[in-house]
């Protein structure tokens, strides 16, 4: 076998970033506070003499109760999640950071990573060569949320550090560096 020369690539270090239980707990508290605020608004509509104002408060409070109730329940689920929040290795990125996470996103499928900010929250948008293939793997509410991301940003995939034990700038640099390394390796093949 000495005559056979194999090209071996150095194995990429595996990085595991755990979920931040403190950040998740704060998120649950914020959701609970906003549900209580929405309930308070709902009681205001009952006292309103103006039919339009009463109906408006009823709709807004109902949406608030449903949305923030759902985020609070999701946060409770994440509190007991033993999985890593994000794993980065030679195969790709294994995402478990939010409700639209899809698991492994392979390096060879990723074409670009960019940043977008919505109010005070920054997201990493992960662009792939075939986003519809990713959408085909999911269904129900998750699919609807991902289709919304696709319409707004051009990709169904997003990662944020809000539930991770790291800050956004470090996460952004790490993923950009790893993507550049992988693209360089693929170009050398």
Mean pLDDT across the stretch 48-71? 84
Domain count, the chain: 2
- Structural domain includes residue 3: no
Same domain, 70 and 108: no
Q: Is the pLDDT of residue 54 over 80?
A: no
- pLDDT confidence of residue 162: 84
Same domain, 95 and 113: yes
Same domain, 106 and 166: yes
- Structural domain includes residue 140: yes
Q: Is the pLDDT of residue 72 over 60?
A: yes
- Structural domain includes residue 7: no
User: Which of residues 79, 99, 118 is at a domain's end?
Assistant: 79
Cβ-contact 160, 122 below 8 angstroms: yes
Mean pLDDT across the stretch 1-25? 67
Q: Which domain holds residue 144?
A: 86-188
Same domain, 71 and 133: no
Strand partners, 9: none
Same domain, 128 and 45: no
Same domain, 101 and 172: yes
Q: How confident is the model at residue 46 (pLDDT cuts 50, 70, 90)?
A: low
What does the DSSP assignment read for 71-85?
A: HHHHHHHHHT--S-S
- Nearest Cα neighbor of 112 from 147, 157, 170, 151 is 157
- Structural domain includes residue 137: yes
Mean pLDDT across the stretch 143-169? 90
Same domain, 111 and 154: yes
């Amino acid at each position: 076998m000495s005559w056979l020369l194999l090209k071996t690539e150095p194995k990429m270090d595996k990085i595991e970033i755990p979920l931040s239980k403190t950040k998740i707990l704060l998120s649950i508290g914020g959701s609970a506070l906003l549900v209580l605020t929405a309930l308070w608004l709902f009681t205001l509509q009952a006292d309103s003499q103006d039919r339009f104002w009463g109906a408006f408060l009823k709709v807004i409070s109902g949406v608030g109760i449903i949305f923030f109730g759902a985020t609070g329940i999701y946060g409770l689920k994440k509190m007991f999640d033993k999985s890593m929040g994000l794993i980065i290795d030679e195969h790709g990125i294994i995402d478990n950071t939010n409700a639209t996470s899809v698991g492994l996103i392979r390096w060879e499928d990723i074409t670009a990573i960019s940043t977008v900010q919505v109010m005070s929250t920054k997201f990493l948008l992960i662009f792939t060569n075939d986003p519809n293939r990713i959408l085909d793997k999911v269904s129900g509410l998750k699919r609807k949320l991902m289709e919304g991301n696709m319409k707004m940003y051009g990709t169904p995939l997003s990662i944020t550090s809000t539930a991770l034990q790291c800050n956004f700038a470090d996460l952004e640099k790490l993923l950009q560096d790893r993507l550049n390394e992988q693209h360089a390796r693929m170009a050398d093949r």
